Amino acid sequence: MTATALALVTPAWAQSQPEVNNGTNPTILATSAGIQYKYTDFGSGFSNGLFEASFTVPFGSGNNKALSFTLPYASGPIDDSFGLGDLSLKFVHVLAVNASRGIAYTAKLSFDTADRPDLGSGQTVLELSGFYAKFLKDGSIVAPSLVQTFGLGDENTGRSKINMTTFDLYYVPKLATDKMFIAFDPALVYDWERDKGFASLTTTFGFPLGKAFGGDSQIFIKPQILAGAHRPADWSLQVGYKVIGF
């Protein structure tokens, strides 16, 4: 789960929430646009950079569905020049939501569009997930999810087929201030092709900036640490700017 599933229309049960939409409630879908940069350290002197521009638009009855498009521009761990990465399209469907809980699923398709082999996965990848969001009485949100990611059988020569299962526990505590928000996203990942697993913890620190371009703007900082002997990287840091609900 990420803090990027957003909303344009606030449902009746949520009208008591703050007017500013910071994007941390994954059941509220909204028009959004943003740009971000992520640096990943793989260890042993290898790293890469990733710029991403994204756009989300809600639709359906009560805006209970959304489509998100992401355009990546990346550098590789060996060749540090930038090029096009794997374009992706994500669908979100909120099945049911009330004052105490929400249920949704997502489907994300990443296309094999990278300019070079080191800038993408070398295959078309489908990611399916489902989550249950619990809205606690103190205003906090807990949303466990199960994610299955797999290649569609067209991997390039020399690339392993992707087949991974992820369990994560998204948690957004209710803070005493509206000047920032925090989201925690611990995850356990198992790679079925390699028969190995690892863990990660992603923490989002967000800072609302007020109205901009007709919506609610924010900047965010997202550090991630990975653990386990078979982790694919050591750590990463992402920073970005986003406008929600314009």
Task: Return d(Cα 115, Cα 83) in angstroms, integer.
Answer: 6
DSSP SS3 for 13 = helix
Task: Return d(Cα 84, Cα 50) in angstroms, integer.
Answer: 10
pLDDT tens, residue by residue, 45-99: 999 999 999 999 999 989 999 999 999 999 998 888 999 999 999 999 999 999 9
Return the number of other C-beta atoms located less than 10 Å from residue 103's C-beta.
15
- Any domain includes 198: yes
* pLDDT in the model for residue 1: 56
Task: Return d(Cα 27, Cα 54) in angstroms, integer.
Answer: 19
pLDDT tens, residue by residue, 187-241: 999 999 999 999 999 999 999 999 999 999 999 999 999 999 999 999 999 999 9
pLDDT tens, residue by residue, 89-145: 999 999 999 999 999 999 999 999 999 988 999 999 999 999 999 999 999 999 999
- Any domain includes 2: no
For residue 177, pLDDT beyond 80: yes
- Any domain includes 147: yes
Look up the domain containing 82 and give its range: 12-244
Number of domains, the chain: 1
Task: Return d(Cα 7, Cα 20) in angstroms, integer.
Answer: 11
The reported pTM is: 0.88
Q: 239: closest CA among 220, 226, 218, 224?
A: 220
Question: Exposure pattern of 123-155 as b/e (b: 16+ CB <10 Å)?
Answer: bbbebebebebebeeeeebbbebebebbbeeeb
- Any domain includes 1: no
For residue 6, pLDDT beyond 80: no
CATH number at residue 74: 2.40.160.40
